[in-house]
Amino acid sequence: MSRIVMKFGGTSVADLDRIRNVARRVKREVDAGHEVAVVVSAMAGTTNQLVAWCQQLSPMHDAREYDSVVATGELVTAGLMAIALQDIGVDARSWQGWQIPLRTDGAHGKARIDGIDGALLIARMQMGQIPVVAGFQGIGPDNRVTTLGRGGSDTSAVAIAAAIKADRCDIYTDVDGIYTTDPRIVPRARKLPRIAYEEMLELASVGAKVLQTRSVELAMKERVRVQVLSSFADADGGDLPGSLVVDEDEIVEKEIVAGIAYSRDEAKVTVKRVPDRPGIAAHIFGPLSEAGINVDMIVQNISDDATTDMTFTLSRTDLARAQAVLEAQKAEIGFTTLISDSAVAKISVVGVGMRSHAGVAATMFKTLADKAINIQVISTSEIKVSVLIASDYTELAVRALHTAYGLDA
């Protein structure tokens, strides 16, 4: 007997037939003797509609009102799911964020979970009742509904799993697991049976958006074992094997590189000929930070006279704002020109095995050189090497690296 959280995304509950399918899948786990809690997203399309209404009424709408509007989609699915479960003889009840309560901070629109008392849910589960929790939401210190940001139902599910001390948190989604890279680019990409939290974080934050990044951070912090699997069952109605996101100690046969990620949501800015003196980096990046602009990779050219060039990358959507911020500081910083380029992509190789294996970066550089792909910027971390290249070469680079690290199926 295990205690399991089962989380279903918007496409899995998009209509009444799919809700009935999900109910039957939950019943199979119950019939197998497991204690189950369910977390649901809104029906596909609902949240987008609600967000659009808020934006159309007022682009600068009150985030507290936005939250109270967009959180309703999950309330609908939670109630409908409880009805569908009851209809096939499974005792169930829906839970709204404020009823549990799932307490968050007051950052409306992107709240962080402060705490969940799992005692009530555990007591109900031990009595044989399935809690069906509305994902994506909680209650803030102001006694108002908060939401956890887009994709927040993943984080709800992991937090509930931690609160009720679940053995596993199953995330049912429209992909059937975590792959070594995007299968649309590399048809020979392999599904990973297990992946470490840290690897998943790097892969998620650089573009492999299967799970909300914060849900993985939370899973790592709370040591919740997360399984990603398809909401579409096999021919016998059973689950297809998914990917398990776990502590790296649980992965016996570690690959050196677990996967190749890419992101085209990048832009590069070069600040030309800034005075090469202490504090100049603070002059450039301080104002950007104050404007809420996150800078990713940074490289400073070797100075050949009293000036230097500073190059950095950021999210493409922030480029125009970053240019405006820097132009406003031009006199203060003392640069000559700004050069920007948004035809760039970031390619990353990720793997906890890198910690104990040298040569991963060298293999990457050689592989790209063999394909005549120019590397513009490099950054490395303990378990990741990232390079910035011209975006035209994205597919070529990903395919070549996938082969070079022996990841092809």
Q: How far apart are CA 311 and CA 309, in angstroms?
A: 7
Tell me if residue 232 falls in helix, strand or coil: coil
CB-count burial class (<10 Å; 0-12, 13-18, 19+) for 39: buried
196 CB contacts (<8 Å, ≥6 apart)? 245, 246, 247, 248, 251, 258, 352
Is the Cβ–Cβ distance between 153 and 231 less than 8 Å? no
Closest distance to its own copies from the beta carbon of 158 (Å): 24
By CB under 8 A, the residues from 132 to 171 that bind its own copies are: 143-145
How many residues sit close enough to its own copies to count as binding (CB under 8 A)? 35
Closest distance to its own copies from the beta carbon of 162 (Å): 23
By CB under 8 A, the residues from 6 to 45 that bind its own copies are: 16, 19-20
Q: How far apart are CA 215 and CA 154, in angstroms?
A: 6
Closest distance to its own copies from the beta carbon of 148 (Å): 17
Q: How far apart are CA 384 and CA 354, in angstroms?
A: 8
11 or 315: whose CB is closer to its own copies?
A: 11
DSSP state of 46: H
30 or 80: whose CB is closer to its own copies?
A: 80
Closest distance to its own copies from the beta carbon of 66 (Å): 7
Q: For its own copies, which stretch binds (CB under 8 A), given 61-69, 111-119, 254-262, 360-368?
A: 61-69
Nearest to 243 by CA among 273, 276, 204: 204
30 or 75: whose CB is closer to its own copies?
A: 75
Q: How far apart are CA 192 and CA 170, in angstroms?
A: 16
133 or 344: whose CB is closer to its own copies?
A: 133
Q: For its own copies, which stretch binds (CB under 8 A), given 65-73, 258-266, 276-284, 396-404?
A: 65-73
Q: One symbol per residue from 92 to 131: x for binding its own copies (CB under 8 A), - otherwise; what is it?
A: -xx-x-xx--------------------------------
Q: Using CB under 8 A, pick the residue from 28, 44, 48, 79 that binds its own copies.
A: 79
Would you tell me how many other CB atoms lie within 10 Å of the CB of residue 368?
21
22 or 401: whose CB is closer to its own copies?
A: 22
Is the Cβ–Cβ distance between 3 and 155 less than 8 Å? no
Longest Cα separation, the chain: 79
Closest distance to its own copies from the beta carbon of 72 (Å): 4
Q: How far apart are CA 39 and CA 235, in angstroms?
A: 25
Closest distance to its own copies from the beta carbon of 73 (Å): 8
314 forms bridges with which residues in the sheet?
267, 295
Nearest to 40 by CA among 144, 146, 124, 160: 160
Token digits of residue 105: 């901070």
Q: For its own copies, which stretch binds (CB under 8 A), given 91-99, 270-278, 377-385, 393-401?
A: 91-99
Closest distance to its own copies from the beta carbon of 149 (Å): 17
Q: How far apart are CA 395 and CA 213, in angstroms?
A: 24
By CB under 8 A, the residues from 175 to 214 that bind its own copies are: none
Helix 72-87 × helix 16-31 angle, to 10°: 60
Q: Using CB under 8 A, pick the residue from 2, 32, 45, 87 that binds its own copies.
A: 87
62 or 250: whose CB is closer to its own copies?
A: 62
The structure tokens 């950007």 sit at 288
Closest distance to its own copies from the beta carbon of 53 (Å): 6
Q: Using CB under 8 A, pick the residue from 6, 80, 111, 206 that binds its own copies.
A: 80
Radius of gyration in angstroms for the set of CA atoms belonging to the chain, rounded to a whole number: 24
44 or 390: whose CB is closer to its own copies?
A: 44
267 forms bridges with which residues in the sheet?
314
Q: Using CB under 8 A, pick the residue from 13, 38, 78, 280 that binds its own copies.
A: 78
Q: Using CB under 8 A, pick the residue from 11, 24, 48, 76 that binds its own copies.
A: 76
Q: Using CB under 8 A, pick the residue from 6, 26, 69, 171 that binds its own copies.
A: 69
Q: Which residues bind its own copies (CB under 8 A)?
A: 16, 19-20, 50, 53-54, 56-58, 61-62, 64-66, 68-69, 72, 75-76, 78-80, 82-84, 86-87, 93-94, 96, 98-99, 143-145
